[in-house]
Amino acid sequence: MSFDSISKRGLVILGCGRMGGAILQGLLKGGLSAGAVWVIDPHPADWLQNAGVHLNTDLPANPAVVLVAVKPQMMADALPHLSAMAAGDTLFLTVAAGITMAGYERMLGADTRLVRAMPNTPAAIGRGVTAIVGNPKATAQDLDMAEELMTGVGQVVRLEYEDQMDAVIGVSGSGPAYVFHLIEVMAAAGEAEGLAPDLALQLAKATVGGAGELAERSDETPGKLRENVTSPGGTTAAALEVLMDPDTGMAPLMRRAVAANIARNRELGK
């Protein structure tokens, strides 16, 4: 990765918890110098205190990028302190759910160059997927910069419209939690059928991990991969009859879960 403008002007990270920390680690691994990073966080993790970044000190006046990774509920307290930076050509790159471009522009000013990004927690192992979208003030170079930064923690996709961000959060931003829950319930079902807890969990984790990797690497669709497991009249077919029931199966359940996610996301943005 090339971090020319960040190396010269600096990267400020507002909030360096799970997501801000994962992105910072990806960037440092990708070759960004810790000396080019300023972090603001009230309770920095141990690794962060030894990472060589500037921690809770005076900030550069005109950094190349401010990465905003505080919780949406903290935004109105934390962000306006940095509004002077928005008057220049600093790019604000935010990963927060809920808050819209219009909300940021109210806090920072209408001329702010802004990119909203939605990563997910596999970012911690470089296997995240992030969707990005810019406001009208964000330039093509700003979007390239945002893409380059987020590529440090996995794949990046670009959205055409900000409205698409709600569905992205519902599918991929929060999605790892659904998959972790799938692991939990598969293991619990195995336990209920007599497997030892450790064994049930090992089987569930390896199955979800292996199937996910196969789905990503294979040229076949997930539907075809599912059919490949399903012998006619066999055991998988019996289970899928339950899971694919149009009224009580996974499809209507997932539809409701994603709708609840989006409704909460819109509440957080108010």
Which helix (H) or strand (E) segment holds residue 115: the answer is strand 113-118
| Phi, psi angle pair for 259, to nearest 5° | -65, -40
Catalog residues that contact ligand NDP under the rule CB under 6 A: 14-20, 40-43, 69-72, 74, 77-78, 95-97, 118-121, 173
Q: Which amino acid is at 19?
A: M
- Pairwise CA distance, residues 244 & 4, whole Å: 51
Residue pair 69/15 in contact (Cβ under 8 Å)? The answer is yes
Which helix (H) or strand (E) segment holds residue 40: the answer is strand 37-40
8-state DSSP, 97: S
Q: Which is nearer to ligand A1CAB, 126 or 176 (CB)?
A: 176
How many chain residues bind ligand A1CAB (CB under 6 A)?
A: 4
170 touches ligand A1CAB (CB under 6 A) = no
Q: Which amino acid is at 263?
A: A
Interacting residue with ligand A1CAB among 122, 145, 174, 187 (CB under 6 A): 174
Q: Which is nearer to ligand A1CAB, 152 or 173 (CB)?
A: 173
Least distance in Å: CB of 268 to ligand A1CAB? 7
Least distance in Å: CB of 131 to ligand NDP? 10
Interacting residue with ligand A1CAB among 97, 146, 200, 204 (CB under 6 A): 97
Interacting residue with ligand A1CAB among 70, 86, 169, 201 (CB under 6 A): 169
Burial of 86 (0-12, 13-18, 19+ CB in 10 A): buried
Q: Which positions touch ligand A1CAB (CB under 6 A)? A: 97, 169, 173-174
